């Protein structure tokens, strides 16, 4: 992999990490406000609980994304960034540009998605 490409991916991943941290922080304080709001009389318990659930799902989603971004940065440093975790082939630069934190090549990601979408089709 070309050094210039690696550098640009690193820059992208670092800014993704920052953005995710910012957004996680904002959501965490929103989540806390919701939990506090739960104790007042006017709020509808069910609505608050639904909002809480939605927010916490979003939080988990972004936390997982942050973990992936950080491990991609680790792989960049270790020198095996851009190698598919499944088949070991290099991941295309276009794919990495679109999804810098990915660990699978296009073919393997597609296979996995298919497995997730249709687990009971047999």
d(CA 68, CA 103): 9
Q: Applying CB under 5 A, what is the total number of residues that bind Zn ion?
A: 5
* Rg of the Cα atoms in the chain: 19
Considering the rule CB under 5 A, would residue 93 count as an interface residue with Zn ion? no
Inter-CA distances, 42 with 37, 48, 55, 65, 67, Å: 9, 11, 20, 35, 38
Considering the rule CB under 5 A, would residue 105 count as an interface residue with Zn ion? yes
Contact range with Zn ion by CB under 5 A, out of 5-13, 15-23, 40-48, 99-107: 99-107
H helix intervals, 1-122: 3-37, 45-78, 93-98, 106-117
Considering the rule CB under 5 A, would residue 86 count as an interface residue with Zn ion? yes
> Are 107 and 58 contacting, i.e. CB atoms less than 8 angstroms apart?
no
Binding mask 35-74 for Zn ion (x = CB under 5 A): ----------------------------------------
For Zn ion, which residue of 21, 26, 57, 87 counts as binding (CB under 5 A)? 87
Structure tokens at 91: 């991941």
Contact range with Zn ion by CB under 5 A, out of 40-48, 64-72, 93-101, 105-113: 105-113
Looking at the Cβ atoms of 15 and 89, the one nearer to Zn ion is 89
**Residues making contact with Zn ion (CB under 5 A):** 84, 86-87, 105, 108
């Amino acid at each position: 992999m070309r050094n210039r490409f690696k550098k640009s991916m690193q820059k992208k991943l670092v800014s993704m990490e920052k953005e995710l941290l910012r957004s996680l922080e904002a959501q965490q304080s929103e989540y806390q406000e919701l939990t506090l709001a739960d104790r007042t009389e006017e709020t509808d318990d069910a609505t608050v609980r639904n909002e809480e659930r939605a927010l916490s799902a979003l939080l988990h989603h972004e936390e997982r994304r942050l973990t992936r971004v950080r491990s991609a940065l680790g792989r960049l440093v270790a020198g095996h960034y851009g190698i598919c975790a499944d088949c070991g082939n290099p991941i295309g630069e276009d794919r990495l540009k679109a999804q810098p934190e990915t660990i699978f090549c296009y073919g393997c990601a597609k296979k996995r998605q298919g497995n997730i979408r249709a687990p009971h089709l047999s």
